[in-house]
Structure 1
Amino acid sequence: MPERPSPGAPPALGDSLAHGWDDPDGQNLPPADWGRPTGPRRTATIWLFALFIIALAVGNAWLSDTLTSEAFLAWATIFTAISLQALPFLVFGVALSAALSAFVPASFWQRVIPRRPALAVPVAGLSGAVLPGCECASVPVASGLMRQGVAPAAALTFLLAAPAINPIVLVATAVAFPNQPEMVAARFLASLGAAVVVGWVWARFGRTDWLRPPRRHHDPDASKWLVFRESMQHDLMHAGGFLVVGGLAAATLNVLVPRDWITAVADRPVLSVLVLALLAILLSICSEADAFVAASLTAFSPTAKLAFLVVGPMVDLKLIALQAGTFGWSFVYRFVPLTLAMTLIFTFGIGWWLL
């Protein structure tokens, strides 16, 4: 018989895999009011968007005669094309993700995911294909899975796979890369492979005390429609803002960066992959929209574009911030380097094989 941990010791990984976050003594669970709103809703983001629209209108009235240079028109065309192509996928993905978060109980995932980690991790990774949504939605869903008793390794695999291999993302990738089905297959295989390997490594070496106990993101007494509405508003505002930033950055890179600079980087196979991986981390574009930005980087190789598509949904600045706020920095220091290493390894391997 295996020895039971002594009283007061942190729970062993095997206990967390078998029992999740159960704590009959209530010593390690967060207070009941964690995550509940404590003040009036902030509307600063809405006002910023309103001021941005007003500034665009005023700028168009004052500068319409001067902003007619070829470079500016090219910049505006690229930005508009990226935004209009990606927006329908973004809205649909956020709406469906909010509906699943509100109306599908987390206990459902606990029933369908096996208890054994060796099987739970790949099943959780494939389950990510049925949750259309961006990284913003995957973090609270993974936290809810842990709160319902799903093994942390399986929940973290789901967190990585859901934004990268769900149907909305794959369809958006097919639209952004027409007549290139190998790019869709490469994205699916590299993303799923990286997520599953990270899950297996965490199941073998991870410790439960590296994870802060998950807390609630909604009032438990709130109606499902209220949860849906708040999730929709939150994810759409965040993802929409990052889409605009990504579109602006991609258009600026295409117009302002000298072509010889881009060629110098793009012609180096390893360096170009690392550069676009770093760009994906910094831009933090929603996974429903990143394929259109990657497709616009025409000077780079298919493997470099694949790095942009695989790394972005699993490692970016906004996702790191969300993970730190949900699970703590002790988790982030260990999880993010592991995830980045796996995404790069699978990008090089799948890219060399398929692209």
Structure 2
Amino acid sequence: MYFIYILECADKTLYTGFTNDLAKRLATHNSGKGAKYTRARLPVQMVYSERFVDKVAAQQREYQVKQLSRREKLDLIAQGNPEELAIGQVIAAGSRHTLVLQDDGSVVAVGDNKSGQCDVEDWQHVVSLAAGNVHRATNTGNAHSVGLRFDGTVIACGWNKHGQCDVGAWRNIVDVTAGWRRTVGLQADGQVVAVGRNNDGECDVANWQNIVAIAAGDWHTLGVCADGHVLATGNNRYGQCAVDDWKHVQAVSAGYLHSVGLLEDGSVIASGRNDEGQCAIGDWQDIVAVAAGSKHTLGLKADGTVVATGDNQFGQCDVGAWQGIVTIAAGCGHSVGIKADGGVVAVGDNEYGQINVAEWQAAKISNV
């Protein structure tokens, strides 16, 4: 679990921060070992907090709150702490469909529904989403959708040939991700569970410990450890699992045959197939979130703009004009972004109507 918080300092100024343990962080501040700003303004008291299932979503929210004026922060504090669990991944993009989480915890879907992957109209109390993605080929296209509920249970619909939707017994889940033919869940205790196709060992995660973030590509799975290094399992034909030397990673995303990591300093690292330039991220800076599509990669910058690299056959990398974006998702051949006001933008392949999202209103990043 992750949190953003607001402290009131001894001089009545306000400080906004991010943590995975509110009590411990408050104690650290008051011991004089916290932020430089608070060390000169002790004691401090916590006057507001929001909790998240997703680390990157929490950091994005922290950035938003820090941009507020003092008056706006005071108004936020006056509203009181949200009673519901804050949202994780608001948007999910599959091979041919798109999911969006709404403010009331329900989900809307658009695009190909051949396997029932868009049959989400009865989903409720959802806080995070995932969609099975896959590369474009004549024998691909079937997909599934996954929703994490606020109580730590999981729901799924769509293609289930390999048991990838058999998640009804999962409990205490704090994050979900979906690859081709499988679903992966992160438990509150840092362990990982997986169901579905395992021909390449992509579900061999039972021994993983102290994991804080997960991602699933077509045939490989990634996990970020609490100390910032990364584990990988599954197909490694193009070096997509060659992440042993990655350090200081806070989030990961996995595409068809490549892996992307967001580092603590806002830079990005990548490995795997780079034939389309999907790993050409060496000069990216000030990034707060990454999303890997089949053969392209997106990066959300701290200023709300988005950068992209890789295959642009369908215009999925034409995101240069996007502004005010707070979260992103990459499908097989399309890209989706959510604005701070909940508006949805999308570009790329629309053969199945997967980017017909202009009239949608997504859940705000703060709370459901």
TM-score grouping bracket, smaller chain normalisation: under 0.3
TM-score by length of 1: 0.26
Q: Over alpha carbons, which structure has the higher Rg?
A: 1
TM-score in terms of structure 2 length = 0.25
Which has more helix, going by share of residues? 1
Higher relative strand content: 2
**Which of the pair has the greater relative contact order for Cα pairs under 8 Å at 6+ separation?**
1
